[in-house]
Amino acid sequence: MARGDAPRDSYHLVGISFFILGLGTLLPWNFFITAIPYFQARLAGASNSTARILSTNHTGPEDAFNFNNWVTLLSQLPLLLFTFLNSFLYQCVPETVRILGSLLAILLLFALTAALVKVDMSPGPFFSITMASVCFINSFSAVLQGSLFGQLGTMPSTYSTLFLSGQGLAGIFAALAMLLSMASGVDAETSALGYFITPCVGILMSIMCYLSLPHLKFARYYLANKPSQAQAQELETKAELLQSVTLSVFPAITAMVTSSTSPGKWSQFFNPICCFLLFNIMDWLGRSLTSYFLWPDEDSRLLPLLVCLRFLFVPLFMLCHVPQRSRLPILFPQDAYFITFMLLFAVSNGYLVSLTMCLAPRQVLPHEREVAGALMTFFLALGLSCGASLSFLFKALL
């Protein structure tokens, strides 16, 4: 709640800035996983002129390097690592250095990813460089995110909502950027280059927004006060919940599902639309539903049951139309099956993680919330890393 003597947020500039900063924190993760077909094509050893595709192969290139699994795991391990390092790092490194340094590092690493589109390279070195970039980018993103939570802890709750909304829309933004790149009509190399330049522009905008905050009276008024650890911890857990999906199948398995129709425009756009765009839109919708109702309540045994039932999506997705398989049969070949599963998967993910976050504070006494927030953050990071590790097993079972 805004204080009585607080200045006005003229033209909502501070709100817009935090929305863009929220968008910028999750752009790296979303742009990497949405571009999985491009990376698979490069790692399949395609020639320089044909490897720059984002998604044109109907059956999909063979994922010899397990790129889907590694990109998920190496995106989540930094989260687990910095859960341990947060207290030490935040006390020893000034806030401005953490935020600006992280943004600049992410910008440079994404610029490297874009530059590699133009560079001929054998699959092995390309995989090593890309995995190193993924690990470092997500490490800096973890530092950036945690530092921004500290600032948001001093602001009215509306600004936390704007920041989290920006994070929630990052996946939709990445999926739309891929679709626009594919539909642009330019050559494949220019299309891929434009796609990877887009997050660089987004990070530049985030840097400009952060640099503008000290010049805005509203921001100076609130940011002069140090937030409580409990406030920052609660925001951190909320934001990390936006990233949690069943990482054992998304995107490691779902990105491998292809259309069962004949090769054509629909088969080319099937996975970007039905996997990434559909998931992010329905996940956002699911999280929005908790603004209207909270069911079941915190005392109901139905909530843990609903969470456990989501594990049914693991075999359902594994039995969809994934051509690269040697063990399990395809029981759900039609596109409609995958679309239906993805709708339910995404809505339930968004709703249940948001519901859990809303109900969790009611389960502990006020003086216990700081410890509860720290424990939730740790076990969330551990769960995400375990889910990413399990994706290797599930892929091997196909």
Task: Find how far residue 258's CA is from the centre of its chain.
Answer: 22
Quick one: 94 exposed, middle or buried, by C-beta within 10 A (0-12, 13-18, 19+)? Answer: exposed
Residue 372: its pLDDT value, please?
65
Residue 217: its pLDDT value, please?
92
- Biggest CA-to-CA distance, the chain: 67
Residue 159 DSSP class: H
Residue 49: its pLDDT value, please?
45
Residues 6+ apart with CB under 8 A from 45: 122, 123
The pTM for the full model equals 0.84
CA distances from 139 to 103, 132, 145, 185 (A): 11, 11, 10, 35
Residue 309 DSSP class: H
Residue 365: its pLDDT value, please?
72
E strands, the chain, are: none
Residue 251: its pLDDT value, please?
87
Residue 124: its pLDDT value, please?
93
Residue 58: its pLDDT value, please?
44
Over the chain (398 residues), the average pLDDT of each successive run of 10 is 72 93 90 89 67 48 78 86 74 88 95 93 94 93 84 81 85 92 85 92 96 93 68 56 68 92 90 94 89 82 89 95 90 96 94 78 66 67 84 91
**Residues facing 332 on adjacent strands:** 320
Query: How far is 70 from 252, CA to CA, in rounded Å?
Result: 9
Residue 52: its pLDDT value, please?
46
Q: Exposure pattern of 262-288 as b/e (b: 16+ CB <10 Å)?
A: eeeeebbbbbbebbbbbbbbbbbebbe
- What structural domains does the chain harbor? 11-397 (1.20.1250.20)
Residue 132: its pLDDT value, please?
95
The span from the first CA to the last CA of the chain, in angstroms, equals 52
